Amino acid sequence: MIEVENLTKRFGSTLAVDTVSFTVKPGEVVGFLGPNGAGKTTTMRIITGLIYPQSGTARVNGKDIWDEPVDVRKLLGYLPEATPLYDEMNVMDFLGFVATVRGIPPREIAARVERMIEVCSLQTMAFKDISELSRGFRQRVGLAQALIHDPPALVLDEPTSGLDPTQILEIRRLVRELGKEKAILFSTHILDEANKTCDRILIINNGRLVGEGSPHDLAAMASGETIYSLEFKGDTELLTEKLPDHFKVTHSRPGGEGYTGLELACSDPADHSEELFDLTVSVGGKLRQLSRKEATLEDVFLELTKGGEA
Ligand SMILES: Nc1ncnc2c1ncn2[C@@H]1O[C@H](COP(=O)(O)OP(=O)(O)O)[C@@H](O)[C@H]1O
Ligand SMILES: [Mg+2]
């Protein structure tokens, strides 16, 4: 898994990344959503060990970028914003070359290359020079090189940018498939794309994380609602019945040890935490967690939805 802790990176007077912390677990596709210049690429380049932060750190499967940068790189597959490909090589030769550089034993290389050609649907392009490939195929070669050493974590920087709609759907499908096992951080500046591809979304703006949640939560927050999440033990039906009208249950799931995790959207911006607490007590239940996420995302959402590439 990927852990990022209090990362801060300055370029001269530009604070590109400002005390950013988050984690990405195995089996999770986390969207890194923010307008251009928000700090997505910088964060990703730090995680992949290409640049160092002024403070904070990142770890992949417990290996720290400061202490074990070589191990971190082995555990990661990285698709940079502009894929560096060797134009004069054909696809097979290029993937074989990358496999060698990544330290895959020679007797396994042919099989790995075959597998990547299959996974990334590159069969028709295997013997074409990279310079001849369309943008969509180049991107798939980029993904193939990121995946060839079968890393447990993937960092994909705007992998669908510049692709046509069919190619976008294919890349998203592949990412979701890979995300069943791997920890994936997927950056995009398109809200709709993050919603469709990711299990969880982190919103970054001006170098700071300004929101986090499921696609559903974020949609509610963008519309000005506040989200309360709580873990409740007791008569959930009675609690739901007694909820005042400004609350709406948006999500309910088992929370373990007899608790139910509930997400409530509240149309009133005032803090209703006390009211919720009193209500859970009044129905004879127990509460072990209660948090409130404010709708502070309007500006960022405006930025993200005011056009640009689809
Ligand atoms: N190598 C660099 N030198 C100077 N400024 C940079 C450099 N890389 C990024 N920046 C600045 O840092 C900020 C964040 O950039 P970036 O991480 O590329 O954002 P994003 O990927 O979200 O579009 C921007 O203001 C950008 O101009
Ligand atoms: Mg970028």
CB of 209 closer than 6 angstroms to any ligand 1 atom:
no
pLDDT given for residue 221 in this prediction? 77
pTM of the model: 0.81
Confidence (pLDDT) at 296: 64
Q: Name the DSSP class of 129.
A: B
Residues with CB under 5 A from ligand 2 (ion): 40-41
| Atom 11 (ligand 1) nearest CA | 16
Ligand nearest the Cα atom of residue 157: 2
d(CA 1, CA 14): 29
Co-location of 200 and 112 in the same domain: yes
Cβ(34) – ligand 1 distance below 6 Å: yes
pLDDT digit string, tens, across residues 207-257: 999 888 888 888 777 777 888 999 999 999 999 999 999 999 988 999 889
Where residue 67 falls among pLDDT bands split at 50, 70, 90? very high
For 135-181, write each residue's pLDDT tens digit: 888 888 998 999 999 999 999 999 988 788 888 888 898 899 989 99
In a shared domain, residues 33 and 170:
yes
In a domain, 310, yes or no: no
Are 170 and 253 found together in one domain? no
> Taking CA 253 as the corner, what is the angle to CA 217 and CA 297, rounded to the nearest 5 degrees?
10
171 and 247, same structural domain?
no
| pLDDT for the residue 295 | 64
Q: Map tokens 């592949």 to a residue.
A: 174
Same domain as 95, residue 235: no
Of 185, 214, 243, which residue constitutes the final position of a domain? 214
8 three-class SS: strand
Residue 307 lies in a domain: no
Number of domains comprising the chain = 2
Q: Are residues 208 and 230 in the same domain?
A: no
Asked if 214 contacts 31 with a C-beta cutoff of 8 angstroms, the reply is no
SS (H, E, C) 102-114: CCCCHHHHHHHHH
CA 220 to chain centre: 19
Check whether residue 53 and residue 158 sit in a common domain. Answer: yes
Report the interhelical angle of 135-147 vs 91-101 (nearest 10°). 30
Q: In terms of domains, do 136 and 104 share one? A: yes
158 and 105, same structural domain? yes
Ligand 1, residue 204: give the atom nearest the CA. 22
Tokens, residue 142: 């980029």
- pLDDT for 126 equals 93
Judge if 230 and 204 occupy the same domain.
no
Give me the phi and psi of 119, to 5 degrees please: -55, -40
Separation between Cα atoms, residue 110 and residue 150, nearest integer Å: 14
The pLDDT of residue 86: 79
Q: What is the CATH number of the domain that holds 51?
A: 3.40.50.300
DSSP for 64-97, written as a single string: ETTT-HHHHHHHEEEE-SS----TTSBHHHHHHH
Owning domain of residue 239: 225-293
Residues 204 and 231 both lie in one domain:
no
Residues 123, 264, single domain; the answer is no
Q: Phi/psi at 189 (nearest 5 deg)? A: -110, 15
